[in-house]
Structure 1
Amino acid sequence: MSTQDTSRILIAGAGPLGLAAALALHRHGHQVTVFDARSADTAGRDTRTLALSHGSRELLELLHAWPASRATPIEHILVTQQGGGGQTRIEAAEQKLPALGYVLSASDLAAALRARAEAEGIPVRHEHRVVSARAEAGHIEVGLESPAGGLVSQGAQLLLRCEGRIPDGDATRQRDYDQHALICLATPASPHGHLAHERFTPRGPIALLPFGERYAVVWTVPAARAEALMQAPDSDWLTALNSALGGLAVLTSISDRAHHPLGLRMRREITSDRCVWLGNAAQTLHPVAGQGFNLALRDVWELAETLIAATDPGSAALLARYSRRRRLDREGAAGFTDLLVRSFSTELPLMTHLRGAGLIALDAFPPLRQFVAKRMIYGARAWP
């Protein structure tokens, strides 16, 4: 195993989160190197669609990596429930914002971040897989599998893991919702007018997110139904989806169908000796209310702020401080999404009435609606 020169901070994962972390840390003068197991071409073909809050846009603008021309603004959100009364509408104008959020492809965001990383001279090394990490006195030794198949060792003061999942043994909170997210792009019969829908049904929530002239759809269904729908023709899928929407929007065609299981998984500790886990490697949330990637960006920003002027960014005291600072936001986002899923995914008559009353209260009391909207947009940063 050969040894490369020591860098201050190494980042595993050159997706949007890893690149955002690199830029945020570089902004404060840290020497950063990014590694990714994928080839550059593969990393650039990220097929996900992301829903970013206005707060995330502000963070990306500070990194000079906001792809404004590629983002579709969400100016209004209508929240409804199937089989019960009550609804509420959240308006960007009421929050005094140009938009509540934005929808864009992960590949477009990654391209903007990559371009900025190149302009800043941040090294991004593809086809380098992290295979080991060993903390030692004053540094961490990271083993990498190189494109030629050999092993190299890279020393650093801190390793950020921005890819991978949480092993069962490292998770302090786990919940299998027995649901799958069905993903597709859908063409509406009439222009969406930058209106997003969050529709709660007894089988799980449905989100329609304006994406160009179409909708990006996240449709939650029981796991047992997901496979049957994935095997069904587009016409059957479309009929079932329009039925669940109850006329709120009429969709005429769909494409790019995919699905994945849903659950809650929180890492017991998001730091260890000279190592920090970020994004899905730290927490995986249900996609309801679109909190996951926005929370991850806030994690990145808080870490960069914690490490300002740090001569040793991997010191135990600094990492402990970062972990404490992120506890409220992480637990709040996880608890909020978990509560929404469990309280709205039931057909009990009492819960239907309670949900309706809650939506009516949000619609009737602007201060309460503003409170909820700001926490969704900014997370714990919005708390007094």
Structure 2
Amino acid sequence: MGGSAVVVGGGIGGLAAALGLRLIGWEVTVVERAAALADAGAGISLHANGLRALDTLGVGAAVRAAARPQYTGGTRTPKGRLLTRMDGAALERALGTPIVGIPRSVLHRLLREALPPGCLHIGAEATSVDRTVPDRPRVSVQGRVLEADLVVAADGVNSRLRARLFPHHPGPAYSGSTVLRAITEHPVDLADDFQITWGRGAEFGHITFADGRAEWHAVLNAPPGVRHTDPLDAMRRRFADWHDPIPALLDATRPEAVLHHDIHELTTPLPTFTAGHVALLGDAAHAMTPNLGQGACQALEDAATLAAALAAGPTVGSALARYDAERRPRSQAVARAARQAGRMGQRLAHPAAVALRDTALRVTPSRAMIRAILRHADWTPPALGLDHRTP
């Protein structure tokens, strides 16, 4: 079964969906409202499930070549005491790959370069979707109307198309946490590939990239909308007494490189990921907190599953029913687990609760930590059944 599709949103999920649809022989147009692709962003960790989805989509090898495996690291207290150790080699034995770290901009570029020229249209904002003709949805894009057999809404946590399709849904809710993050300007001498430090209502973490630079992030309990005149200076003051290499990471960062976003999630699950011949994907469908590092991985799973369902057919309607049945329970369960992980981790602020959490982590066997990661990362993508040629 071939057809035409309009993908709304040129982020990781949207580009991955376009790759999957192209692989099964569909004609695809991607519209992205950003006027320029600045390749901004910090870093991203990809678990085995995300890498397996990328393999299915044909770009796994390129992503692995650009990424750095995360073999060493763990969780610490602000004074530097080790709470848990991450065993990347054990993960690799269990899953065939360790977790890898890569700049988000590099991952985006690799996805974009795998698409043919002219497939991605930037500065093109989709404002509405018309389902008057059920099997030929039409998307309004700045005065133009694009008609296709399928529309993929991959337009993020604040999805405009989701709001149109589900007008009674409350939309995203503030999680109670805000995140500041950046990539260092130059390589930093770090002992670990990956590290998280938990304090009272705060988390500081880093991942190291293949070129020696690192991404750091600071997640803080805060009211929504709080901003700093000098975010980097605010982080230096906030984490002044936290252990090395946190000060070194901040010192290696340019002030203008710091990004600051409030974390929103879909605490009210959607009743379905489809509406007629429209499929929701990624944050538009299941925006979650970053506490499990699964947001992008779940979007990549969506893309691979959508392509496989459409390849199997026999109709778009039946394929979307399969996509919803396979993706909604799993992704919403991961979102719930991420929310719970945040509540038991970074969100804890009471001293007694923090002390109890830290004690529990210290006595938890490393194999139990591995099992916790496997619960979400051990996913096998459906086969695309490629009998088509990319047009």
Q: Secondary structure at the match of 1:307?
A: helix
Q: Which residue of 2 aligns with 1:3?
A: none
What SS is found at the alignment partner of 2:91?
Answer: coil
- The normalised TM-score by structure 1 is 0.81
- Alpha-carbon distance between aligned partners in 2 of 1:214 and 1:234, rounded to the nearest angstrom: 17
Question: Structure 1 residue 283: deviation in Å?
Answer: 2.1
Counterpart residue type for residue 132 of structure 1? S
Q: Which ranges in structure 1 are unaligned for 5 or more consecutive residues?
A: 1-5
Q: Any idea what SS the aligned residue of 1:87 has?
A: strand
1:155 correspondence with 2:147: yes
- The one-letter code sitting in structure 2 at the alignment partner of 1:176 is Y
Q: 1:83 to 1:379 in 2, by over 3 A?
A: farther
Cross-structure match for 1:198: 196
Relative to structure 1, is the Cα distance of residues 115 and 225 closer, same or farther in structure 2, using a 3 angstrom cutoff?
Answer: closer
**2:218 aligned partner:** 219
Q: What does 1:198-277 align with in structure 2 at a 5 Å threshold?
A: 198-211=196-209, 212-223=211-222, 227=226, 230-232=228-230, 234-235=232-233, 237-243=235-241, 245-247=242-244, 249-251=246-248, 252-255=251-254, 256-266=257-267, 267-268=269-270, 269-277=272-280
In the alignment, the residues of structure 2 paired with residue 172 and residue 83 of structure 1 have an alpha-carbon distance, to the nearest angstrom, of: 41
Unpaired runs of 5+ residues, structure 2, are: 382-391
Question: 1:133 touches 1:143 (CA, 8 Å); kept in 2?
Answer: yes
Q: 1:133 is matched by which residue type in structure 2?
A: V
Report SS of the residue matched to 2:101.
strand
User: What's the CA shift for 1:297?
Assistant: 0.8
Matches within 5 A, 1:19-58: 19-39=15-35, 42-58=36-52
**TM-score (structure 2 length as normaliser):** 0.80
Amino acid at match of 2:373: A
Instruction: Note the alpha carbon deviations across 1:181-231, whole angstroms, 9 max, x for none.
Output: 011234799622452112222213222111332321110123359846x32
Q: For the residues of structure 2 that align with 1:355 and 1:188, how far apart are their CA atoms?
A: 35
Matching residue's letter, 2:353? M
Q: Counterpart of 1:61?
A: 55
CA 1:231–1:21 in structure 2 vs 1: closer, same or farther (change >3 Å)? same
Contact between 1:73 and 1:194, CA under 8 Å: does it hold in 2? Answer: no
1:179–1:222 contact (8 Å) kept in structure 2: yes
- How far is 1:274 from its partner? 1.1
SS of the residue aligned with 1:117? coil
Counterpart amino acid of residue 372 in structure 2: V
Q: Distance in 1 between matches of 2:178 and 2:118?
A: 37
SS of equivalent to 2:92: coil
Residues 1:294 and 2:288 aligned together: no
Cα separation, partners in 2 of 1:170 and 1:340, compared to 1, 3 Å: farther
Q: 1:296 Cα shift?
A: 1.0
Structure having the larger proportion of residues in strand: 1
% identity of equivalent residues: 18
- The size of the alignment, in residue pairs, is 362
Cα 1:204–1:357, aligned 2, differ >3 Å: closer, same or farther?
same
Larger RCO, structure (CA 8 Å, separation 6 or more): 2
